[in-house]
Chain A
Amino acid sequence: MVKPTRITNTIRATREAAGMTQAEVARRIGVTRQTLIAIEQGKYSPSLELAFQLSRLFGVAIDDLFQYPTDAADGATA
């Protein structure tokens, strides 16, 4: 019925490697802990602004945090 986002991410692993808690990351990017959990589980695609905030918080490129499958006809052709 509801198709979750196809975007995957490595936020949880990156966060754990940085030694940060979900609550701390959520507070620093201005979202609730539930929203961070949803992002980590791939149930919610954050806005571009949130993606940049996460990437800067962890000091990694956005491409290292978020992945999108390249094989599908995703309708993104120009």
Chain B
Amino acid sequence: MGYVERNTWSQLIASAVGTIVYLALVLPQVWSLPVGEIAWQWPMVWTIVGAIVVSIVISILWGIGAGMRDPDEEHRADQRDREIEHLGDRVGQAFMVIGGLAALILAMVQAEWFWIGNAVFAGFFLSAFIGGIARIVVYRRGMP
């Protein structure tokens, strides 16, 4: 597995873990509190920051392990990596747009901030996660 593919896996794992932690913190409140009283802002901030940090840590540790197995491994992206990255971005972009549109509609109907914020968050997550899955599939199975 190459350097860029490893980073893609790291981001995918971190975004999944971050979102699971966020949902574990916030979902129980959805059923027990009025939406306006749910403490979602800081859990969202910290899980986003945490996911970025976890992604970097996984990437570094995995890179150290890979470097010990193969000291000649190159730590750079080439033409294929860039093409796969663009493909993943195109796949993920659709979900970002859907999240943005959902937030816009929710703002128009004056929904609670909770729903607007979480619509954008869901768009970010789905964009990163589905885009990452698309990249991994292409790395494993080949360019379409």
Where the two chains meet, the residues of A that have a C-beta atom closer than 8 Å to any C-beta of B are 1-5, 23, 30-35, 38, 41-47, 50
**Given A1-B137, A38-B80, A50-B79: A32 touches B74 (CB 8 Å cut-off):** yes
Query: B76: nearest residue on chain A (CB-CB)?
Result: A32
Interface residues in B, total, Cβ within 8 A: 17
Q: Mark B115-144, 1 if CB is under 8 A from A, else 0.
A: 000000000000000000000011001111
- A33 CA to B80 CA, complexed, in Å: 11
Where the two chains meet, the residues of B that have a C-beta atom closer than 8 Å to any C-beta of A are 1-3, 5, 72, 74, 76, 78-81, 137-138, 141-144
Using Cβ atoms and an 8 Å threshold, which residues of chain B touch A47? 79
Instruction: Give me the 3 closest cross-chain CB pairs, A-B, nearest first.
Output: A43-B142, A4-B142, A34-B2
Say whether B137 contacts A42, CB under 8 Å. Answer: no
Say whether A34 contacts B72, CB under 8 Å. Answer: no
